[in-house]
Structure 1
Amino acid sequence: MDIPRFFNITESAHRIHNPFTPEKFATLGEALRLKSGDRVLDLGSGSGETLCTWARDHGIVGTGIDMSSLFTAHARQRAEELGVAHQVNFIHGDASGYISDEKADVAACVGATWIGGGVAGTIELLARSLRTGGVILIGEPYWRQLPATEDIARKCLANSISDFLILPELLASFGKLGYDVVEMVLANQDGWDRYEAAKWLTMRRWLEKNPDDELADEIRSKLSTEPGRHAAYTREYLGWGVFALMPGISPGKT
């Protein structure tokens, strides 16, 4: 069980596998008012930066699950580096059906909603691990500006325009699922640059060391085209954010 090797190569130097920066995750942790002992579940935890830094900065405890054996190893190493290995646990596995034995104060899927077959299914999955009064975190792209054509959408690495919503529609969609949006932190273009552009040096260094690898031609092609594609499309059209949700309550009820 693992993710495609291409992504293990191109994101091998990433600590964060989405357009958030360390500062954005710090802002999110403060916005959620995390406190010592809070339990956080992270489905699709990547290299563990969220859990590890929140354990260091806020004293949370938590569990992360990710399909990449490489990223899981990086997460465990990061926990040791930050001195929080006793607070966080990282599991190499398929998070698509994972339900925590201990209810979480925060249940998160930040940028991997394919785990639940989309946003609605992922929220439903996370809710099964959430304590009463807890918060669900969903990381999801949205259109900063609606592409004029399907070709533009595909150049943003979407399958079609319908893959994503504009931000007001995305926020409204959570309400339609029965949830209140109680916080949000949005990435910016600099965050997209750090996520996408950091891959380019990784690809170049990998090509220098692995010129005859079976993926060399594909990596070479991506290195040649990704800077221009990113600058023209992802950077201009795609937004990305983490949205904090709580089950909705009717007026006059608690």
Structure 2
Amino acid sequence: MTTTDSPPRLTHLTFHGPLSEARARRLVASLAANRPATVLDIGCGWGELLLRVLDAAPGATGTGIDINAEDLARGRALAGERGLDGRVAFVEESAHGSERGPADLVLCVGSSQALCDPDGPHDLAAALRELRRLVAPGGRVLLGEGFWQRVPTPDELARMWPGAREDDHRPLGALVEAAVDAGFRPAWIETADRDEWEQFESGYRHDIEVWLAANPGHPDAAATRARVDRQRTSWLTGYRDILGMAYLTLVPVA
């Protein structure tokens, strides 16, 4: 039996990235200990991490910026459920050139591209300069950024996302040095493990895979199946155990 409904979107993900509950609790506790009064989340999605920081930092207010209206609506609903809707705003706008700062805490987890020129390539140095501009003196930045665990071969790059290049990411050491060059000191460095990646990758596709199994004759099934098969294959045969995710707690240099 088939239905005409579209597949639900990302209902099996708490965070839009390879981030476990245990790591999230540690990060939130550490960031809230600096007692931020204002929190800015760049490319916030539904703002799960933002909401948890606000819950752990009584009195703090937050702003989440994203261009995905559906994710922002999910964030507003979550804020209302947790009694935080009076302390947070979810704003549908580009983060490029944002004037929302300076904030005591800036979150930018898997979304540094939102700070770059939308008509140009991803520019890590430019994104870091923007984060330095948006954070208040004495504040903190949590940067979640991809890095190469090892430099991929040309054959491995060809099996990743379309147009994948070696300079899409840097090794961890070079990533941290770029943050230092932008005017930060790395107060804490940690990286996602394989289990976090597997939970994220499987959760990312779970809703669609279940929907495809139940709706093989849906008019959108063929295109959806082709898309999700490409995504899964690019992970399993391309960037699995090669692409990492670093969580850097950065302190701006006075």
Task: State yes or no: 1:120 paired with 2:119.
Answer: no
Where do 1:191-202 residues align within 5 Å? Answer: 191-202=196-207
Match of 1:49 in 2: 48
Runs (4+) off by over 6 Å: none
CA distance in 1, matches of 2:126, 2:34: 28
Structure 1 residues 210 and 65: alpha-carbon distance in aligned structure 2, compared to 1, 3 A threshold: farther
Q: Does the aligned pair in 2 maintain the 1:32–1:183 contact within 8 Å?
A: no
142, 158, 164: which is aligned to 1:159? 164
Please tell me whether the aligned partners of residues 107 and 127 of structure 1 are also in contact (alpha carbons under 8 angstroms). Answer: no
Question: CA 1:76 to 1:173, structure 2 compared with 1: closer, same or farther past 3 Å?
Answer: same
Correspondence list, 1:62-77, <5 A? 62-77=62-77
Shift of 1:179: 2.0
Q: Counterpart in 2 of 1:61?
A: 61
SS of equivalent residue, structure 2 residue 70: helix
Q: Which residue of 2 aligns with 1:240?
A: 245
Q: Percent identity?
A: 25
Q: Give SS of 1:141's match.
A: strand
Q: Does the CA-based 8 Å contact 2:29-2:56 persist in structure 1?
A: no
CA distance in structure 2 between the aligned counterparts of 1:184 and 1:92, rounded to whole angstroms: 30
Q: Secondary structure at the match of 2:190?
A: strand
**Aligned ranges 1:215-234 → 2 under 5 Å:** 216-234=221-239
Is 1:106–1:130's contact at 8 Å kept on the other side of the alignment? yes
User: Is the 1:38–1:61 Cα contact (8 Å) retained in structure 2?
Assistant: yes
**Comparing 230-239 and 44-53, the one that deviates more:** 230-239
**What TM-score comes out, normalization by structure 2 length?**
0.83
Deviation for aligned residue 1:108: 2.2
Q: 1:184 aligns with which of 186, 189, 201?
A: 189
Helix, strand or coil: the match of 1:42? strand
1:178–1:248: 8 Å Cα contact kept in structure 2?
A: yes
Q: Which of 145, 164, 174 is equivalent to 1:140?
A: 145
CA distance in 2: counterparts of 1:177 and 1:135, whole angstroms: 14
- CA–CA distance in 2 between the matches of 1:223 and 1:31? 36
Deviations 1:140-188 (A, max 9, x none): 1011122122x31243336211111111121122222232111223211
C-alpha change, 1:210 and 1:105, in structure 2 (3 Å) is farther
Check the 8 A contact 1:24/1:185 in 2, yes or no. no
Distance 1:181 1:35 in 2: 15
CA distance in structure 2 between the aligned counterparts of 1:191 and 1:43, rounded to whole angstroms:
22
**Equivalent-residue separation in structure 2 for 1:36 and 1:87 (angstroms):** 15
- Coordinate RMSD, CA, aligned: 2.5
What number of residue pairs does the alignment pair up? 239
Q: Conserved in 2, the CA contact under 8 Å of 1:183 and 1:245?
A: yes
TM-score w.r.t. length of structure 1: 0.83
Gaps of 5+ in 2: 1-6, 117-122
Instruction: Supply the distance in 2 between the matched residues of 1:67 and 1:80 (Cα, whole angstroms).
Output: 20
Q: Which moved more, 1:124-133 or 1:72-81?
A: 124-133
Alpha-carbon offset, residue 197 of structure 1: 0.6
**8 Å contact 2:128–2:179 — kept in the other structure?**
no
Deviations 1:229-248 (A, max 9, x none): 42343331111022122233
Distance 1:90 1:78 in 2: 11
Give the aligned residue type for 2:171: I
Q: CA deviation at 1:38?
A: 2.6
How many angstroms apart in 2 are the aligned matches of 1:127 and 1:190? 32
Q: Which blocks of at least 5 consecutive residues in structure 1 are unaligned?
A: 1-7, 250-254
Cα contact 1:15–1:48 (8 A) shared by 2: no
Query: What residue number does 1:16 align with?
Result: 15
Contact 1:126–1:136 (Cα < 8 Å) also in 2 = yes
Could you tell me whether the CA contact under 8 Å between 1:46 and 1:68 is conserved in 2?
yes
